[in-house]
Amino acid sequence: MTLAVPTLRLMPEIPGRVRGYPQLRFMGSKFRLLSWIHEVLAEIDFDSALDAFSGSGCVSYLLKAMGKRVTANDFLNFCTTIARATVENPGVRLTEDDLELLLSYDRRHRKFIEGRFSGIFFTKEDLRFLDRTWWNVGKLQGEYARSIAVSAMIRSCAKRQPRGVFTVAGDPEHYKDGRRDLRLSLREHFLEQVSVYNSCVFDGVKGCVAANGDILDFDADEFDLVYMDPPYVPRSDDNCYIKRYHFLEGLSCYWKGMDILESSRVKKIVKPYTPFSYRRTAISAFEAMFAKFSRSILVLSYSSNGFPDLPILVGLMRRYKSSIEVFEKDHRYHFGTHSSAERNRVKEYLVVGR
Ligand SMILES: C[S@@+](CC[C@H](N)C(=O)[O-])C[C@H]1O[C@@H](n2cnc3c(N)ncnc32)[C@H](O)[C@@H]1O
């Protein structure tokens, strides 16, 4: 294993538009590490890339902005929806007419969200807004316009919700502590978010794709480089994405085909299984993933609070790659409570295998 040392060479600047990416408060998001990731990736020669666990989509967006043909994959539908709007989308924006259509009143609209989530999240007016707008999304022409509209709804809900998570039910009035994001209605947020997403859209190289599935079932296409940022086995706290973001996941498809856990106070949905989240399955999952993509350059994001420890992962990668470099950076995740702040101070690694 080589520990890569910083050089004094001038590093290429991160493409400017990446700073304006509409990031989510997403657990494990690499948004604040993008400059560093860019520095490392800019030194590697590649044209096509798979972002195997795209999450908030920011790394895929960076790759697209670097001129790469990128496939963003995640097994959560809301992550794929955002990647479809920002990464796969070759330049489609919502027009004034689209917006007017989205905001129009159609008395045939369904009332599923209001019925299910009244008294749990948001105000009645907010929930009605979501039902009405979703009904109109179906009238938009084309999947990119629809994905922008749904992404704008997703980000609006994440912003309006305290801490951006959906773990506890709460009266929105209770949180009116002056913060603008909690003060604005969902409709007001939505208007802002449509223009935020519209302005981040651009046409990259041909063939960018947003995929939705378990990475271990992914049809291993030929990618020059595969970037992997899997969820970590939690050391103490849990790392469940569905527990935090179930509302966004349901919203991304209007809860179509989703199993709601009726006994849960917040009406969670069933979480998809991932072997990366459990001690007894994580190591073999890493091994299967490295084997699957062994013909590509492998770039693994990892952190010192993950399991297994770094040397084990490097050893696994070495089975497929002759040269391994490890880049390292101090980092602090803004997630969780103050008491966990110490735990959130970690070393971030990028392990590059060729
Ligand atoms: C650490 S996050 C990725 C964060 C992302 N790089 C970012 O900057 O926002 C891990 C992601 O992996 C996804 N995930 C977990 N297990 C998966 C699997 N087996 N296949 C595909 N995606 C998976 C989760 O939904 C989550 O979005």
Q: What's the confidence (pLDDT) of residue 170?
A: 78
259-273 residue pLDDT tens: 999 999 999 999 999
133-158 residue pLDDT tens: 999 999 999 999 999 999 999 999 99
Q: How far is the CA of 54 from the centre of ligand 1 (A)?
A: 6
Question: Range with the lowest mean pLDDT among 122-136, 204-218, 222-236, 260-274?
Answer: 222-236
CA 353: distance to chain centroid? 24
Q: Report whether 117 contacts 250 (CB < 8 A).
A: no
Distance CA 168, CA 243 (A): 10
Residue 330 has pLDDT above 90, yes or no: no
Q: How far is the CA of 242 from the centre of ligand 1 (A)?
A: 11
Of all protein residues, the one whose alpha carbon is nearest to atom 25 of ligand 1 is 76
Residue 311 has pLDDT above 50, yes or no: yes
Q: What's the confidence (pLDDT) of residue 66?
A: 97
Q: Which domains does the chain have, with CATH numbers?
A: 1-91+206-231+276-354 (3.40.50.150), 92-201+238-273 (no CATH)
Beta strand pairing call for 69-74 and 48-51: parallel
Distance CA 246, CA 252 (A): 10
Q: Which atom of ligand 1 is nearest to the CA of 276?
A: 16
The closest alpha carbon to 245, from 28, 39, 85, 45, belongs to 28
Q: Is 276 in the pocket of ligand 1 (CB under 6 A)?
A: yes
Amino acid making up residue 340: S
Amino acid making up residue 273: Y
Q: What's the confidence (pLDDT) of residue 230?
A: 97
pLDDT, mean of residues 109-126: 96
Q: Is 164 in the pocket of ligand 1 (CB under 6 A)?
A: no
* Mean pLDDT over the full length of the chain: 92
Distance CA 279, CA 296 (A): 26
Q: What's the confidence (pLDDT) of residue 175?
A: 65
Distance CA 2, CA 23 (A): 32
Q: Which atom of ligand 1 is nearest to the CA of 301?
A: 6
Q: Is 231 in the pocket of ligand 1 (CB under 6 A)?
A: yes
Q: What's the confidence (pLDDT) of residue 338?
A: 45
Q: Is 29 in the pocket of ligand 1 (CB under 6 A)?
A: yes
Q: Exposed, middle or buried: residue 149 (CB in 10 Å: 0-12, 13-18, 19+)?
A: buried
Q: Is 242 in the pocket of ligand 1 (CB under 6 A)?
A: no
Distance CA 158, CA 247 (A): 9
Q: Is 13 in the pocket of ligand 1 (CB under 6 A)?
A: no
Residue 111 has pLDDT above 90, yes or no: yes
Q: What's the confidence (pLDDT) of residue 130?
A: 98
23-73 residue pLDDT tens: 999 999 999 999 999 999 999 999 999 999 999 999 999 999 999 999 999
Q: Which atom of ligand 1 is nearest to the CA of 76?
A: 25
Residue 234 has pLDDT above 80, yes or no: no
Q: How far is the CA of 29 from the centre of ligand 1 (A)?
A: 9
Q: How far is the CA of 143 from the centre of ligand 1 (A)?
A: 23
Q: What's the confidence (pLDDT) of residue 239?
A: 82
Q: Is 34 in the pocket of ligand 1 (CB under 6 A)?
A: no
Ligand 1 pocket test, pick from 50, 51, 53, 299 with the greatest ligand atom count within 8 Å of Cβ, gives 53
**Residue 232 or residue 173, greater confidence:** 232
Q: Exposed, middle or buried: residue 62 (CB in 10 Å: 0-12, 13-18, 19+)?
A: buried
Distance CA 240, CA 300 (A): 20
Residue 281 has pLDDT above 60, yes or no: yes
